[in-house]
Structure 1
Amino acid sequence: MMLQNISIWGILNIVLVVLILGIIGNQLYLWFKGRSVAKLVENEEFKKGMHRGQIIDLREKDNFNAGHIMGARNIPFGQFRVMKNSIRKDMPVYLYDQGKSLSTRIAIKLHKEGYQDIYILKAGFERWDGRIKKSK
């Protein structure tokens, strides 16, 4: 009985290690791929360029309504596939979410669709220090 318990715990530990390595591998892939398809920019660079491009807020509608970057359009991550055709390819695309992980995923998808001029707000909305607007 003790030998069976050890082998079950051993198997569970192996499964846990494999899962953790898979998660780490996925994050590393997103990190490297994201940097090859989009430029991570600080607040100041985002502010300078956003006036010549499209600002896309990938957060959910409630978060967007509570406060968003002035001039941003809300395309929640979960609805992106349906709404992506409203993003123009001939203009720069400025993406942000709460951090930057959703923006990186969307940047990769946009790049696959032929978008070239993609920027991601490095610190996300959480650390945005520019003008914001609240919706009703």
Structure 2
Amino acid sequence: MEDITVAELKERLDKGQKFHFLDVREEWEFEEDNLGAQNIPLGELPHRLSELEKHKDDEIIVHCRSGARSGNAKKFMESKGYSKVRNVLGGILAYRAL
């Protein structure tokens, strides 16, 4: 799936649109600043993928600090059969700059 811009993400969050939201930053980063997503740090994702099983056919939007870790998470999840994963371009840094 196509990646998503922070402007699109903000609009979708503001409208309360349905998707599963995943934050792959470390716990301390998430605690400092979060957008209400489920937090599974990238390093833990292979061991915690079962937590996302019920969302396998849903759109999953993944974000991190700048978009790099979430891009890796997207590739990993796609390799495991998740077909509707979208990376937030620019991550939370770009989102906060809106």
Fold agreement, TM-score > 0.5: yes
TM-score (norm 1): 0.62
Per the alignment, do residues 111 and 121 of structure 1 end up closer, same or farther by CA in structure 2, a change over 3 Å counting? same
Structure 1 position 121 matched with structure 2 position 88: yes
Q: Which of 81, 86, 110 is equivalent to 2:51?
A: 86
Q: Which has the larger radius of gyration?
A: 1
Greater share of residues in helix: 1
Quote the residue 1:77 is aligned against: 42
Q: How many residues are paired up?
A: 92
Quote the residue 2:23 is aligned against: 57
For structure 1, the 5+ residue unaligned runs are 1-37, 131-136
Equivalent runs, 1:24-39 vs 2, <5 Å: 38-39=1-2
Runs of 4+ aligned residues of structure 1 deviating over 2 Å after TM superposition are 47-51
RMSD of aligned residue pairs (Cα, Å): 1.7
Percent identity, aligned pairs only, is: 20
For structure 2, the 5+ residue unaligned runs are none
List per-residue Cα deviations over 1:1-28 (Å, max 9, x = no partner).
xxxxxxxxxxxxxxxxxxxxxxxxxxxx
TM-score (norm 2): 0.83
* Bigger RCO of structures 1 and 2 (CA < 8 A, at least 6 apart): 2
